């Protein structure tokens, strides 16, 4: 619900943090840290709505759709971060999860004044969305015109739209097919939604993207089975994964990975099914990329 004077709840004043500027530094840190508990609670309460979103998004992506994040300011940066981390973590193509931020790439490193108020830009940039895609609009107060216009336009184009905010009565909630309210209340520093509301959005996006990738077979057990080994740390992780799932030594794991073109999943199927790389890939395609069915 809206706060006093029709303001979003995130614009209210947290009475428990009055006198923040007068606190000793250790108490100040403790107060700010304790306030983050509201973010965890808000995401847990939204669990049923998040679950519905995950199932729908996973189905759309499996059918060839893409997931788009649209946000402004902190919310836009959080969406960009989550999208950027999907390819190295889950081996996804960059176009599978995309981010749109008011003000463009410049807004990732510095505030672009007035960008969130540019509804025309939101409408224009939403034209990149296709029917069968999924869109998550991100706005702590749920009022950013850029985000609302993006979601409204994407919905009209046939996309599945989610409005994620900390205000269940917001314009973003009304514009979206599936509103998700992360009700975090007033910020410890009044109006600074990079704090509790921002943490809640980060938690929710982590949960959504990871759960979607689990549903798409990008995870086996609790392992990053589709990790892209682009540096020494990740190459070592890929070797450990193959060693664990095949029960072999490091030299054999390295040989398998080389024959599999670096794919942990292909290497494991090759060893466990005694087939070559081409046959392993065919088996994985048959099982929609899900390794468990082949072990």
Task: Please indicate whether residue 85 is annotated as part of the active site.
Answer: yes
Same domain, 35 and 170: yes
CB 105 within 8 A of CB 75: no
Of the residues 173, 188, 215, the one at which a domain ends: 215
pLDDT at position 162, please? 98
pLDDT at position 5, please? 55
The answer to the question of residue 239 being in a domain is: yes
Same domain, 203 and 253: no
The answer to the question of residue 125 being in a domain is: yes
The answer to the question of residue 109 being in a domain is: yes
pLDDT at position 7, please? 79
Task: Please indicate whether residue 183 is annotated as part of the active site.
Answer: no
The answer to the question of residue 220 being in a domain is: no
Same domain, 140 and 17: yes
Same domain, 106 and 158: yes
Same domain, 236 and 211: no
The answer to the question of residue 225 being in a domain is: no
pLDDT, tens digit, for every residue of 253-262? 999 999 999 9
Helix (H) or strand (E) holding 244: helix 232-246
Q: Is the pLDDT of residue 176 over 90?
A: yes
Same domain, 274 and 167: no
Report the domain count for the chain.
2
Selecting among 11, 116, 125, 183, the annotated active-site residue is 116
Handedness of CA 85, 56, 205, 192 (dihedral sign): positive
Angle at CA 200, nearest 5°, toward 156 and 193?
Answer: 85
pLDDT at position 202, please? 98
Same domain, 34 and 163: yes
Same domain, 126 and 266: no
What number is the average pLDDT over the span 259-285?
A: 96
pLDDT, tens digit, for every residue of 113-170? 889 999 999 999 999 999 999 999 999 999 999 999 999 999 999 999 999 999 999 9
Same domain, 18 and 141: yes
pLDDT at position 8, please? 83
The answer to the question of residue 8 being in a domain is: yes
Sorted by sequence, the CB contacts under 8 Å of residue 95 that are 6+ apart come out as 66
The answer to the question of residue 132 being in a domain is: yes
Handedness of CA 65, 170, 81, 288 (dihedral sign): negative
pLDDT, tens digit, for every residue of 179-228? 999 999 999 999 899 999 999 999 999 999 999 999 999 999 999 899 88
Alpha helical stretches, state H, 91-195: 119-125, 145-156, 171-175
Of the residues 215, 247, 263, the one at which a domain ends: 215
Q: Is the pLDDT of residue 6 over 80?
A: no
Same domain, 105 and 246: no
Same domain, 174 and 259: no
Domain span at residue 181 reads: 4-215
Q: Is the pLDDT of residue 3 over 80?
A: no
Selecting among 85, 177, 252, 254, the annotated active-site residue is 85
Which of 65, 97, 66, 93 has its CA nearest to residue 79? Answer: 97
CATH classification of the domain holding 288: 1.10.8.1080
């Amino acid at each position: 619900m809206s706060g006093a004077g029709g303001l979003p709840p995130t614009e209210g004043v947290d009475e428990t943090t009055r006198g923040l500027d007068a606190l000793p530094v250790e108490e100040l840190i403790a107060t700010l840290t304790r306030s983050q508990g509201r973010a965890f609670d808000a995401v847990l309460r939204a669990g049923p709505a998040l679950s519905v979103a995950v199932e729908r998004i996973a189905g759309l992506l499996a059918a060839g759709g893409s997931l788009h994040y649209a946000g402004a300011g902190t919310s836009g940066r959080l969406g960009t971060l989550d999208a950027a981390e999907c390819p190295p973590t889950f081996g996804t193509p960059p176009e599978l999860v995309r981010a749109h931020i008011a003000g463009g790439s410049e807004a990732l490193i510095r505030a672009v004044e007035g960008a969130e108020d540019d509804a025309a830009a939101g409408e224009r940039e939403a034209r990149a969305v296709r029917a069968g895609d999924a869109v998550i609009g991100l706005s702590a107060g749920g009022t950013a015109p850029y985000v609302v216009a993006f979601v409204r336009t994407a919905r009209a184009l046939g996309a599945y739209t989610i409005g994620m905010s900390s205000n269940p009565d917001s314009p973003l909630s009304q514009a979206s097919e599936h509103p998700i309210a992360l009700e975090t209340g007033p910020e410890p520093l009044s109006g600074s939604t990079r704090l509790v509301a921002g943490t809640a959005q980060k938690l929710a996006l982590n949960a959504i993207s990871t759960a979607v990738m689990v549903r798409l077979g990008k995870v086996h057990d609790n392992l990053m089975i589709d990790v892209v080994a682009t540096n020494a740390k990740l190459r070592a992780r890929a070797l450990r994964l193959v060693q664990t799932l095949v029960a072999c030594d490091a030299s054999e794991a390295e040989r398998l990975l080389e024959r599999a073109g670096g794919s942990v999943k292909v290497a494991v199927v090759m060893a466990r099914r005694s087939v070559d790389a081409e046959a392993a890939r065919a088996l994985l395609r048959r099982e929609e990329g899900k390794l468990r069915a082949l072990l």
